Structure 1
Amino acid sequence: MEERTRAYLRGRFRDHYRRKEWLPESSGDAGGRGSEETPPPDPEAREWGYIPWTSGATTMVRHQSLLELGELGDFLQRERPRHVYFSAGRYEDPGADEMEAKGWRDSDLVFDIDADHLEGVDPQRDAYGEMLAAGKAEVQNLLDLLENDFGFSDLTVVFSGGRGYHVHVRDEGVRGLDRDERREIVDYIRGEGIERDAIQRVEMGGTATRRVLKKDGGWGRRVHRELLSLADELLAMDDDDALERLKEFDGIGDGRARTILGAVSEDYEKLESGNVERGGQGIRELTKVMTEKVVADQSAAIDEPVTTDLRRLIRLPGSLHGGTGLEVTRIPRDELADFDPLSDPVPETFEGHEVTVEVTDPGPVELRGESFRLSAGDVSLPEYVAVFLMARGRAEKGKE
């Protein structure tokens, strides 16, 4: 990135921060899209860090307390940083230079989903918007697990401004968890080790034993719910179609399909109770296949090191992402489905006028519902597109 490009972005970032109003810390984490923002809860107990607009190697300035930075809005306008972070952890002395001297108190439970790391996503092939859409689907799975399996309620959902999404859990009951305890949560959410035998128990019935799904909660409940849904689907079909539907599953041939259909038709109540013994190997194989499918469809591909790191720094909502020029954006829970990462995080500061840039990495770009196919060389573009290209290293500021 050339110096004139850095200077331009640094100046426009400052203009953005001048338009922001940071509410009192007592407002907690209630900020959202627009001109008003709040810091995270207990900001004075957190470590702060930022990356300035310097040439050469990226330099992180960290081990800062809010006392050292000053009032947050003033700091952002003064330093106009490229990236801004705060710690998930709370400390007795967050500005201490050594981690051991900070005096760790507790940490939020933070989850990170990077769209370009998801299975089936290829950053070289897939458009930026397509990757972010895949990431949002993972976030919806994550929230479903956090709310319905863990019962968490104090959740903050954030678009990172770059490759994906963050979810902060601040329930008091989780803030004191150590790394190993957080790793157990990660494994559950990622569906690690969730197999058929892990979600069922063996019960004695007279002289016989039977396998019963643990349907009262967790992955057992999820698999049981999908098995019943499939059973209802089969009962609504004629037999030939039901058999073909069952044979779509790996390991289910014609013989097992007939056995399963008979068990579903004759002993639906037993399946409803969680009993997967009736139907013999056919039902057991279906339960195995369904478990694999449910875990694949309903788990969330979270980044394990982010959640288990008690000292992690995470992006500040309301700040700008120096790699895109988009705003790190809180997303109200009931607005996630409609959130558009290519439109909603575009700062108003960069709307309404055009600037000239020299495109160095031609190709398509899509923002705010508009598509641009750019060739190399000078071009006049809406500023939000120009900032996006410059921040991503695809263009330089045009010479005046």
Structure 2
Amino acid sequence: MGVQDMMKLYYSRLFPHQEMYKWLAYGNDGKHPRSDAGYFQRREFCFTLDGDIFVRYQSFKDAGEMAQALKDRCPSKIDIGPVYNVDPQRRAAYQGSGQGFSPVERELVFDIDLTDYDDVRTCGKEGHICGKCWPLMAAAIKILDAGLREDFGFHHIFFVFSGRRGVHCWVCDERARKLTDEQRSAIASYFAVYKGQERGVARLALSLDDHPAVKRAYELLRDAFEQRVLPEQQLLMDEQQSQAVLAYLPTDGLRDAVRQRWRGVTDSVQKWEALVEVVEEEAKALEQGNRKAVEGQRARKATLKCLKDIVCAHTYPRLDMEVSKKMNHLLKAPFCVHPKTGKVCVPIDPENAWEFDPEGVATVGSLLNQLNSMTSGAAAAQGHEAWRATDMSTAVDTFRSCFLDSLTAEVKAGLAEKARVAAAEPTLAW
């Protein structure tokens, strides 16, 4: 079976069209009197066709039209753009008019790619992903999820495996969808503790007295670093990585003391514990050696900061900032198939982020094999939702339970409130 035939079957029998429509319509399906029936049709979709042909500004009036277009065109990739003030397919009719053509809504999105961690992982580079480096992605999910909920008060957030080597985050609260580019940039900057490399050392927006959000993140990241990253990556058993870690220590004396303590140690976690002991001993000595208590505490904090620098340099989320800053930025749709790996872009439950297995993600081939193994009676019973008898069912259930169900409930409540307000308005007498 050719790739196009496989994708035609995938989009016709396995892709969850109704769930995608239910999400992106945000209750504006025309069934409620207060809904905006034209809302979904103002959403931009971009198809990538064979030969890397990009077809932007696609739009559909409903789930049925979207499903038919996917089946007919079989895109190798689907990207989702913003909601515009007019139907994007008819944008030419508005150019030069007073109405113009511009985005008015777009989910707040984040993109994290494992290639940006190549300097701190030993299991592979570039497109590689495995269970050993996945904790870096899981930590990023945990930090983003906590920050977006606790610090910004967002509720409707979901994470998606990109299909190859990264994670996408979608924040879908109405307040998030209506953020300006400047506000999006400010939120992205809030999470930009990691600011790249300079002379082999990470540039980090950390201080001796950190913001409570950074303190919260550091507590989570230190556990992740000690319990998951170090054992999996064995960073300190790699000579180059060991030297990179030592570069964060503030003095040559500390580095020499750690090297001395490392002699004969053959485990990465034990080497880290030895490093921590040396740093803490030095910090305690500096505190006790200062006559003034304030100066002693400051010297202690300054020394201990290197531990925080090491942990955050290796595990703090490394965001693709440009993806988050602009309302009109495209981002790959959930449930589409990555053209290079054949893996489906499945949602991730943030509560179980550590347990997610990027190597075990369903591929379009495995799903079609499951579909082919169904009996004719079972297939008929599933109807248009044949995916229920495959591993796609787990992915859709995660999407619903972690995100869509609560979003739908809030949207319905909002429409009901609009109806109540409209009914309460006095009728004008002419």
The residue type paired with residue 48 of structure 2 is I
Which of the residues 43, 49, 54 maps onto 2:46? 49
- The aligned counterpart of 2:339 is 322
Deviation at 1:310, TM superposition (A): 1.4
- The aligned counterpart of 1:17 is 11
Deviation at 1:138, TM superposition (A): 2.7
Deviation at 1:251, TM superposition (A): 9.8
The 10-residue stretch of structure 1 (21-30 or 100-109) with the greater mean CA deviation from structure 2? 21-30
Structure number with higher relative contact order (C-alpha < 8 Å, ≥ 6 residues apart): 2
Instruction: Measure, in 2, the Cα distance between the counterparts of 1:223 and 1:343.
Output: 30
Deviation at 1:169, TM superposition (A): 0.5
TM-score (norm 2): 0.56
Which structure's residues are more often helix, by fraction?
2
TM-score (norm 1): 0.60
Q: Say whether the 8 Å CA contact 1:155–1:169 is kept in structure 2.
A: yes
Deviation at 1:333, TM superposition (A): 3.3
Deviation at 1:154, TM superposition (A): 0.9
| Counterpart check, 1:302 vs 2:319 | yes
Deviation at 1:182, TM superposition (A): 2.0
Cα distance per residue 1:21-75 (max 9 Å; x no partner): 5226773269xxxxxxxxxx95433101101123xxx210011111499622211
Q: Say whether the 8 Å CA contact 1:223–1:290 is kept in structure 2.
A: no
> Residues 120 and 74 (structure 1 numbering): CA distance in 2 closer, same or farther, change over 3 Å?
same
Deviation at 1:318, TM superposition (A): 2.0
Q: Say whether the 8 Å CA contact 2:108–2:172 is kept in structure 1.
A: yes
Instruction: Measure, in 1, the Cα distance between the counterparts of 2:84 and 2:128.
Output: 38
> Residues 301 and 225 (structure 1 numbering): CA distance in 2 closer, same or farther, change over 3 Å?
closer
Which of the residues 149, 152, 158 maps onto 1:156? 158
Alignment of 1:323-342 (within 5 A): 323-342=340-359
Alignment of 1:103-182 (within 5 A): 103-118=102-117, 119-121=119-121, 124=125, 127-129=128-130, 130=132, 134-182=136-184
Instruction: Measure, in 1, the Cα distance between the counterparts of 2:127 and 2:180.
Output: 37
Cα distance per residue 1:68-117 (max 9 Å; x no partner): 99622211111111111111455433324579843321221100111222
Cα distance per residue 1:297-333 (max 9 Å; x no partner): 6631111111112111112222222222111212233
Instruction: Measure, in 2, the Cα distance between the counterparts of 1:307 and 1:251.
Output: 40
- Percentage of identical aligned residues: 21
| Counterpart check, 1:313 vs 2:312 | no
Q: What SS does the corresponding residue of 2:359 show, helix, strand or coil?
A: coil
Instruction: Measure, in 2, the Cα distance between the counterparts of 1:349 and 1:316.
Output: 18
Alignment of 1:67-78 (within 5 A): 67=61, 71-78=65-72
Alignment of 1:1-400 (within 5 A): 8-20=2-14, 21-23=16-18, 27-28=22-23, 43-54=40-51, 58-67=52-61, 71-97=65-91, 101-118=100-117, 119-121=119-121, 124=125, 127-129=128-130, 130=132, 134-191=136-193, 192=195, 194-196=205-207, 200=209, 217-220=212-215, 248=275, 252=279, 256-260=283-287, 277=294, 279-286=296-303, 288-293=305-310, 295-296=312-313, 299-347=316-364, 348-351=366-369
Q: What SS does the corresponding residue of 2:89 show, helix, strand or coil?
A: coil
Q: What SS does the corresponding residue of 2:360 show, helix, strand or coil?
A: coil
Q: What SS does the corresponding residue of 1:23 show, helix, strand or coil?
A: helix
Q: Say whether the 8 Å CA contact 2:114–2:129 is kept in structure 1.
A: no
Q: Say whether the 8 Å CA contact 1:65–1:94 is kept in structure 2.
A: yes
Which structure's residues are more often strand, by fraction?
1
Instruction: Measure, in 2, the Cα distance between the counterparts of 1:258 and 1:132.
Output: 38
> Residues 87 and 221 (structure 1 numbering): CA distance in 2 closer, same or farther, change over 3 Å?
same
Deviation at 1:120, TM superposition (A): 2.5
The residue type paired with residue 9 of structure 1 is V
Q: Say whether the 8 Å CA contact 2:107–2:177 is kept in structure 1.
A: yes
Instruction: Measure, in 2, the Cα distance between the counterparts of 1:222 and 1:128.
Output: 24
Q: Say whether the 8 Å CA contact 1:194–1:219 is kept in structure 2.
A: no
Instruction: Measure, in 2, the Cα distance between the counterparts of 1:91 and 1:167.
Output: 24
Instruction: Measure, in 1, the Cα distance between the counterparts of 2:153 and 2:282.
Output: 42
Q: Say whether the 8 Å CA contact 1:247–1:254 is kept in structure 2.
A: no
> Residues 165 and 340 (structure 1 numbering): CA distance in 2 closer, same or farther, change over 3 Å?
same
> Residues 254 and 46 (structure 1 numbering): CA distance in 2 closer, same or farther, change over 3 Å?
same
Instruction: Measure, in 2, the Cα distance between the counterparts of 1:314 and 1:83.
Output: 10
Deviation at 1:337, TM superposition (A): 3.0
- The aligned counterpart of 1:240 is none
Q: Say whether the 8 Å CA contact 1:111–1:166 is kept in structure 2.
A: yes
Q: Say whether the 8 Å CA contact 2:24–2:40 is kept in structure 1.
A: no
Deviation at 1:170, TM superposition (A): 1.4
Structure 1: runs of 5+ lacking an equivalent: 1-6, 31-40, 201-212, 228-243, 264-275, 355-400
Equivalent pairs counted in the alignment come to 291
Deviation at 1:250, TM superposition (A): 11
Instruction: Measure, in 1, the Cα distance between the counterparts of 2:156 and 2:11.
Output: 27
Q: What SS does the corresponding residue of 1:116 show, helix, strand or coil?
A: helix
Instruction: Measure, in 2, the Cα distance between the counterparts of 1:128 and 1:256.
Output: 38
> Residues 91 and 162 (structure 1 numbering): CA distance in 2 closer, same or farther, change over 3 Å?
farther
Instruction: Measure, in 1, the Cα distance between the counterparts of 2:148 and 2:169.
Output: 10
- Aligned-residue Cα RMSD (Å) equals 4.1
Instruction: Measure, in 2, the Cα distance between the counterparts of 1:313 and 1:345.
Output: 24
Instruction: Measure, in 2, the Cα distance between the counterparts of 1:160 and 1:322.
Output: 11
